[in-house]
Chain A
Amino acid sequence: MTFWLLLTVNSVTFGGLLFLLSAGFSLIFGLMRIPNLTHGSMFMVGAYLGSTFLGGALGFTLDFWAAAIISALEVAVLGALMERLLLRRLAGQQLAQVLVTLGVSFMVADLCLMGWGGDPISVSTPAGLGGFVRVGLAVFPLYRMAVIGIAVVFAIALWLMLERTRLGAMIRAGVDDPQMARVVGIRVSRLFTIVFGLGAGLAGFAGMIGAPILSVYPGLDQDMLPLALVVVILGGTGSLLGSFLGSIVVGFIYNFGQALLPELAYFVLFLPMVLVLVLRPQGLFGGRLL
């Protein structure tokens, strides 16, 4: 019983982390119609930068949350720059854009290896969240609970942003019909930059939040990117609710798969993605793909 409970909590935690990662991925996919293959790299860069600030860089040391926010902002700037300088040049050529993101992900992976070396960096849990919560017989790490809380807060904030603000309305319009959005005077190309920056920032933030659980190592990008892909395929692109539900589902599949069928863990993970792509390309939870 404790085993199942722990597994469930871990799954929800991981799902929360995946939501932070894939919400931006889903928005970018919905708006620009391309899978941003640098999204895993953004996650990793966020984690590396955050761990550096945590360890003390440029003579001052930041606490965990400040490090997470500052690294997220930096990654957001990187993402926006990439959109402006590279993807903008290839506007309308989706295939070329996908290939460019792939090339950039190679470059980022190697740059991180240059900058931070090949050894994994472990990040300690932020002060005050190192403890445990006791529920009956089960003991839960407090930090994992906090991650779930953060994910929920972000989900609500993002939902409010998309549903209640002018920017959100413009993004929704752009996702639904970019041409018509242009006609009514929305600068869709500027939305691209904003959404790309926002998505990258969220991924970077997720990287730092995930660092105490996953640690930071070369190859983290390649581990996370496929998960974000699965989430977005299951949930449908450009849909916040879809990526939230998709993240939880993938969190469960991933953790239960690892625990119960370790040999087939990746098979169980990617099979639903293939099935959904083949049988229900618009995603499980409405939305639509392409």
Chain B
Amino acid sequence: MTGRRIAIVVAIIGLVIVPYVITEVYYVNIASQILLYAIFALGLNVLVGYAGLVSLGHAGLFGVASYAVAYLLAAGFGHAVAIPAAIGIGLLATAVFAALALRASGISFIMITLALGEIIWGLAYRWISVTHGDNGINVTTRPAPFGLPLSSARGFYDATLIIFLLAVASSAIFVRSPLGAALCGTRDQPRRMNALGFHVWMIRFMAFMFSGLLTSISGILFVYYNEFISPQALALTASAEGLLMVISGGAGTLLGPVVGAALVVIVKNVVSGLRFTVLSPMGFADLVKFVLNGLFQHWNFLLGAIFVAIVVFMPEGLVPGSVRLARAAWRTANRSKSARPAAAAPPAPVAEQKR
């Protein structure tokens, strides 16, 4: 346990000093993006990982909060009004989503959330008198809480980091709480939980609301980060990207969605700018580089391919998957070392994090 605490402290220190290590504004902004998408992925993970309900409409919820804050700011309200109001509107939309979608589970749940997400997207795209359609809404200022302006990349990163840490902590508390345990129960054995007297619907509803809260917060951060919101941010593709973050990292773990968010944001922003130099008479290495160059240019293709590869080959996600591989490797190494009968048996693997 202490080892784990040390790891957490090191991780936090590492995150805090990021803007001092990589001073380039571009990379600090990428780091902010990773954190804000990580909050989104953590929110989606509550449903996908712990409740076993796959939502393909979360970009819609994200968008409700984004548009609410942008609209209120454009209408002349201050940040102190717009942010809480946007969270409130986001939660209201979440309640409607939950009330409709929780009548089903499995594939039907996916379909209902998808349709709801498309409704929100359709409104953002076509309800021009409110949303300005494809032109989107510009937000000209970032707030300055306690006199600390968020207008610089570093200031914004710090604020996002604080919110991110709060989101991780609250997710951890939620998952370890009796409610979180009951939620995992409804995922694995909904009927038994029902028979045991748990209100399955209410437990799922609470999880949905918590998920909606994190999603709304990330939506608001997104608006402030881009200082702009347009329907593209809430299209089906955006929901799918969120799902990709959760599933690639490892649904049902706390670290997984964060890793997944980093993966997706890095592939989208950094890898798409990479180019290897290829020598003209191509050797094998050059051929590989040539193919990689092509892939880097087309990050959407790359994301899709990663998605397919992870679902087929590592369905539990990168984090639990690599933990499993590392453990297996460690075990075999241990076994070959301890050929003598007196050697201690390899310690029983720590109970799986997932379920």
Contacts and interface: CB of A to CB of B under 8 A. Distances in A.
B126 interface: yes
Contacts of B301: 106-107, 110-111, 114
B128 interface: yes
B304 A103 contact: yes
Interface string B232-273: 000111001001100100000000000000000000000000
Contacts of B305: 103, 107
9 contacts: A94-B106, A102-B240, A106-B307, A263-B126, A266-B125, A277-B104, A278-B100, A281-B104, A290-B108
Contacts of B4: none
A96 B104 contact: no
Interface residues of A, number: 47
Interface string A258-286: 00001111110111011001100100000
A254 to B, nearest CB: 11
Interface string B96-120: 0000100110111011101110110
Contacts, number: 136
Contacts of A264: 122-123, 126-127
A189 interface: no
Interface in A171-210: none
A247 interface: no
Interface of B is mostly: helix
B311 A266 contact: no
Contact of A278 (B112, B119, B237, B300): B112
B152 interface: no
Given A277-B115, A278-B100, A94 B312 contact: no
B116 A274 contact: yes
Given A270-B122, A277-B100, 16 more contacts: A35-B110, A86-B312, A90-B311, A95-B107, A96-B311, A104-B308, A106-B240, A110-B301, A113-B298, A222-B235, A266-B122, A267-B123, A274-B100, A277-B112, A278-B112, A290-B108
Q: How large is the interface on B (under 10, 10 to 19, 20 to 34, 35 or more residues)?
A: 35 or more
A233 interface: yes
A229 B107 contact: no
Can you list the 6 inter-chain pairs with the closest CB atoms, starting with the nearest? A266-B122, A106-B304, A103-B307, A107-B304, A110-B301, A103-B308
